[in-house]
Amino acid sequence: MKKIDLIIIGGGPAGLSAAIKAREEGIQDILVVERNKILGGILNQCIHNGFGLHVFKEELTGPEYAHKLIERAKELQIPFLLETMVLDITPQKQVKLLSTNGVETIEARAIILAMGCRERPRGAINIPGDRPSGIFSAGTAQELVNMRGLKIGKTAVIVGSGDIGLIMARRLTLEGMDVKAVVELMPFSGGLRRNIAQCLDDFNIPLHLSHTVTKIVGKERLESIIIAAVDENRNPIPETERLIECDTLLFSVGLIPESELAKAAGVALDKRTNGAIVDNNLQTTVEGIFSCGNTLHVHDLVDDVTFEAYEAAVSAKKYLQNNTKSPTTVNVPVVVSGGVRYAVPQNITDISQELKLKFRVGAIYEGANVNVFFDNEQVYSKTKKILTPGEMEIVTLSADIIAKLQNVKEIRIDVK
């Protein structure tokens, strides 16, 4: 069986960034495996700007961000396979590939999972009604419009105010469609504030918070939908129902890490993130398999994905050098309390380095305190002006603080 030191699964921003860093760190034997015909992943269809301020110190569009990564990867002569799908990974790190050349299995000494995420579909949120054409997930609509140049309809309503939904509201408007409304179940938007400003407010597109779609009507093509306000238990209030005529309905109702291959490899998953459980080397519960980017947990910014992928690459290099599991000096679980919905990493094993604890809250908090405890000892406290579920937060604990973890039973991160 062919053997490779490091196989990176996925040639999007996470996979490319990991490959670049791994090669820069001196790993020679690398292979990037990409399912699509081109590298760059979802960045290719994200033609809007606002990427790269942190990594490249300039404002780029998605394709430009991808281009910079691809050019660097080519400069470093990193081998990649396109139109190649990974069918299976075993816990022994045997990777089964399917391409036009047939099926091949390669054994890796280390693997970085970088498969990204997928969209939650209409079916996942149970909206009743007909099943006519004209209903798309926001990302599919984005591909059809931006990559294939298709007109998807004349009048649209968007369900969900996550960033992709907001971006598509502007995009469809610019393409000549009448976007009648964005409907959001929660009392707040899941998207970035700047996207509400420049995608909705700029074009006078109304955002209906605490609203849902109660009916979808149409025989062949979508004809109309009925929306209603919801009460505090998110149940529709019948007397607020009203009809909106539209031939297109987009769903932007969340993203889920792509975890099928992680599962196949025997990697334990976190029920809250739907991604792998990792330690602070981004190593999963299977030795030598690392995870980063949206397959680990959904990020708001591609820049954060790149930084996380760099970390995974450095860890993979350490692992390959030691030819063993990273020196596990401790095993301290990270638990969440108060308003914190999840935190990554979920375990601390390596106390020789600073820790970037990434977390998300479940609701909006103004003037809240973010606290970190080692058992009962408070080691970090900061007051945040605003915390929203749409924005990932990062708490950095210095190596000096992390060194104190020796006899600690758990780390707790709390928002009050």
Partner 1 sequence: MTIRQEFICIACPIGCSLIATKEGGNISVAGNRCRIGIQYAIKEMTDPRRVLTTSVRVYNGGNYKMMSVKTAEDIPKDKMLPCLKEIKKLDLQGCYNVGDILIEDVLCTGVNVVATRGVVL
Q: Return residues touching partner 1 (CB under 8 A).
A: 44, 47-50, 53, 59-64, 66-67, 145-149, 174-175, 192-194, 196-198, 201-202, 300-301, 391
CB of residue 192 to partner 1, shortest distance in Å: 5
Cβ of residue 254: shortest distance to partner 1, in angstroms?
Answer: 18
Nearest distance, CB of residue 388 and partner 1, angstroms: 10
- In angstroms, what is the minimal distance from the CB of 68 to partner 1? 9
Q: How far is CA 353 from the centre of its chain?
A: 25
Using only C-alpha atoms, what is the Rg of the chain?
22
| Residue 192 or 343 having the CB closest to partner 1 | 192
Distance, CA of 364 to CA of 339 (rounded, Å): 9
Nearer to partner 1, 53 or 399 (CB): 53
Nearer to partner 1, 146 or 274 (CB): 146
Q: Whose Cβ is closer to partner 1: residue 147's or residue 243's?
A: 147
Closest CA to 56 of 45, 69, 47: 69
Alpha helix locations (H) across 104-162?
Answer: 138-142
Are the C-beta atoms of 154 and 178 separated by less than 8 Å?
yes
Closest CB to partner 1 among residues 283, 388: 388
Question: 59 or 83: whose CB is closer to partner 1?
Answer: 59
Tokens 């025989």 label which residue? 219
- Round to whole Å and give the CA distance between 3 and 95: 10
Residue 208 burial by Cβ neighbours in a 10 Å radius (0-12, 13-18, 19+)? middle
Q: Nearer Cβ to partner 1, position 194 or 325?
A: 194
Supply the minimum distance, in Å, between the C-beta of residue 398 and partner 1.
23
Task: Show the tokens assigned to 107.
Answer: 């054994």
CB of residue 351 vs partner 1: minimum separation in angstroms?
31
What are the percentages of helix, strand and coil residues in the chain, rounded to 5? 25, 35, 40
3-state secondary structure of 404: helix
Q: Which is nearer to partner 1, 271 or 385 (CB)?
A: 385
Sequence-distant (≥ 6) Cβ neighbours of residue 51 within 8 angstroms: 43, 59, 60, 61, 62, 64, 65, 301, 302, 303
Choice between 208 and 384, CB closer to partner 1: 384
Four-residue CA torsion sign, 287, 289, 293, 297: negative
Alpha helix segments (H runs only) across 25-85: 62-75
Contact of 226 with 214, CB cutoff 8 Å: yes
CA–CA separation, 70 and 32 (whole Å): 12
Minimum Å distance from CB 47 to partner 1?
4
- Does residue 81 contact residue 32 with C-beta atoms inside 8 Å? yes
Least separation in angstroms between CB 157 and partner 1? 22
